[in-house]
Amino acid sequence: MPINKNKLDDIDKIIYDIHKLLDAEKEREINAIMAENVGGGAAGKTEHDPSAQGIPAQDNVEKGLEGGSDYKETLKRLRRKLNVPEPEEAPSSQGESEALVSEDVLIDELLKEKQGRAPSRRNAPVVDSIKALADEQVREEQPQVIQVSQDKNVSTNFLGVGLDVGTSNLVASRITQSGQDIVVNRNAFLNVREDASTIDILSRLNIPRQVVGGKSCVIGKDAFEFSNFFDRITQRSMNIGVINPFEREAIHILNLLVQKMLWQPQIPNEICCFSLPASPVDNAIDINYHKNVVETMLSCFGYEPMALNEGYAVVLSELKDRKFTGVGISCGGGMVNVCITYMAVVIAEFSIARGGDWIDLFASKALDMSSTKVSLVKERGMSILKPEDREQESIAIYYKQYIRYFLEQMARILKESDKNVQFEEPVDIVFAGGSSMVGGFIEAVRRELKTIDLGIPINEVRLAEDPFTSVSRGCLFNAQMASKNGK
């Protein structure tokens, strides 16, 4: 049900002022107003009658306020008493009318709760929604709109932006006159205290502090480095490939990170092609909400958003010499995305809800160390075929389980009748993504494929030219083609 923002602001103001008036004198005054004007007159005790709930009658009921029994008039007087502006003129649509009713119901419910009475469940879903927003002081924060260049003479060779929206990392790319420009950042943040000691440490480390949702935090690669310094676990704006439902400020954090990375659009509605996971075959994750969030974000930045399957992005960036025929696999922090194509036509695409984060989580439990530290061990350089210490041994064990799991899932899906894939000639399987960059990864995959039949003829199993930027470069290629062809 739609909520009118102006009415929500009024509600927040009323709630804020009510909390300020919790001293006994003011509370009795408000209760007296409601007793006089909402109590139901002389017909007897009603649920709105304060005396029926043990609330004493007051001698100074009027106290400069006009009398009357109409609830709307009472609400108006209560607003004036709390210095809250009157709402705008009567709404013209049913949605706005429902929002007004919800506001009145909310005030009624709040005052009942103040008087110790159980609130009614009239319009309960609306009341609960508005109360949750108001009590927690949620504010609708729109992303900052970037000013767009009006130069219409920009060559189409330089139009288009590719954006890999990954669970662990964000990668943006575009073509400039000097070559390919790539920007990378961690998709991470860390809430920090606001005491003088913490602020001093951040200042000494030259780490900028952000305030999101009333809380101080550090974002991006700074959050990863800071968490390692204090052996803490970084927080994520995304989880298993989509917006993290467990982090309240996830959307705002992602908005800040992407905004800092992207360039100013060269023309109005320049295409920004972003990576999107396929629906997972082993988890009931819906990607539509995540897709809409990213599309809205990019639109506010002045771009025209275009979603592209993450596995297909690998095909576009790595299989040009194979006429875009083969298998592209993106191994990210949250998922494994698979796309199988023939001459750039998608035959099958799906994802598996297990990634580098899964490895970090279980290895951290085995090692009794933070998952951030485990990630750092991987990135410092190791081979899952030749681990050198206890930490690397644990990581290698879970890496091999991870590889076997997603290959078995692939085999199961590809052998289903509706996804029966047949190639006349053997095709390449190309891996990309941060989780594929650990030493020994490709060899470990090749060993597993000796016992796991994917049901397709394989020519070569190889790593992408640059696994970390492959998805972003595939998105960039698609954005450029769409720009040149007028979409």
Query: Token digits for 268?
Result: 């109005």
Residue 361 and residue 426 in one domain: yes
Q: Look-up: residue for tokens 């602001």?
A: 9
Q: Judge whether 198 lies within some domain.
A: no
| Residue 485 pLDDT level (bands cut at 50, 70, 90) | confident
Q: Judge whether 432 lies within some domain.
A: yes
Task: Return phi, psi of residue 20, to 5°.
Answer: -75, -20
Residue 181 and residue 286 in one domain: yes
- pLDDT at 406 exceeding the cut of 60: yes
| Burial class (CB within 10 angstroms; exposed 0-12, middle 13-18, buried 19+) of 319 | buried
> Which of 49-53, 195-199, 244-248, 401-405 is the least confident region?
49-53
| Residue 72 pLDDT level (bands cut at 50, 70, 90) | low
- Give the pLDDT of residue 102: 42
CA distance 317 to 469: 9
Q: Look-up: residue for tokens 């602020």?
A: 199
Angle of helix 124-135 relative to helix 5-20, nearest 10 degrees, comes to 70
Residue 327 and residue 262 in one domain: yes
Instruction: Give the tens place of pLDDT for each residue, 36-67.
Output: 444 443 333 333 333 333 333 333 333 333 33
Residue 93 and residue 18 in one domain: yes
Q: Judge whether 150 lies within some domain.
A: no
| Residue 88 pLDDT level (bands cut at 50, 70, 90) | low
> Which of 18-32, 339-353, 384-398 is the least confident region?
18-32
- pLDDT at 378 exceeding the cut of 60: yes
Residue 434 and residue 294 in one domain: yes
Residue 131 and residue 279 in one domain: no
Going by C-alpha positions, the residue among 301, 322, 321 that lies closest to residue 161 is 301
CA distance 141 to 136: 14
Residue 122 and residue 180 in one domain: no
- pLDDT at 236 exceeding the cut of 50: yes
How many domains is the chain built from?
2
Beta bridge partners of 216: 211
Residue 175 and residue 113 in one domain: no
Instruction: Give the tens place of pLDDT for each residue, 424-479.
Output: 899 999 999 999 999 999 999 999 999 999 989 999 999 999 999 999 999 999 99
Q: pTM to 2 decimals?
A: 0.68
Query: Token digits for 315?
Result: 């095909």
Q: Judge whether 214 lies within some domain.
A: no
Helices (runs of H) and strands (runs of E) counted in the chain: 15, 15
Q: Judge whether 225 lies within some domain.
A: no
Instruction: Give the tens place of pLDDT for each residue, 320-368.
Output: 999 999 999 999 999 999 999 999 999 999 999 999 999 999 999 999 9
Residue 119 and residue 240 in one domain: no
In sign, the C-alpha dihedral spanning 200, 205, 206, 209 is negative
CA distance 376 to 90: 59
Report the relative pairing of strands 215-219 and 189-191 from DSSP bridges: antiparallel
Supply the range of the domain harboring residue 127: 5-135
Q: Judge whether 347 lies within some domain.
A: yes
Instruction: Give the tens place of pLDDT for each residue, 286-314.
Output: 999 999 999 999 999 999 999 999 999 99
> Which of 10-14, 69-73, 100-104, 323-327 is the least confident region?
100-104
- Give the pLDDT of residue 168: 94
Residue 173 and residue 92 in one domain: no
Residue 126 and residue 180 in one domain: no
| Residue 201 pLDDT level (bands cut at 50, 70, 90) | confident
| Residue 422 pLDDT level (bands cut at 50, 70, 90) | confident
* Domain containing residue 413: CATH number: 3.30.420.40
Residue 168 and residue 46 in one domain: no
Query: Token digits for 243?
Result: 């917006």
CA distance 34 to 14: 15
- pLDDT at 97 exceeding the cut of 60: no
Instruction: Give the tens place of pLDDT for each residue, 108-164.
Output: 444 444 444 444 433 343 334 333 433 433 333 333 333 444 444 556 678 999 999
Q: Judge whether 428 lies within some domain.
A: yes
Going by C-alpha positions, the residue among 419, 258, 287 that lies closest to residue 353 is 287
CB of 373 closer than 8 Å to CB of 231: yes
| Burial class (CB within 10 angstroms; exposed 0-12, middle 13-18, buried 19+) of 206 | exposed
Q: Mean pLDDT throughout 188-211?
A: 87
| Residue 171 pLDDT level (bands cut at 50, 70, 90) | very high
* Average pLDDT of the residues of the chain: 77
CB of 467 closer than 8 Å to CB of 330: no
HSE-CB for 165 with a 13 A CA cutoff: 36
Q: Judge whether 277 lies within some domain.
A: yes
Instruction: Give the tens place of pLDDT for each residue, 258-291.
Output: 999 999 999 999 999 999 999 999 999 999 999 9
> Which of 167-171, 201-205, 337-341, 462-466 is the least confident region?
201-205
- pLDDT at 6 exceeding the cut of 60: no
- Residue 462's H or E segment, with its range, is strand 458-463
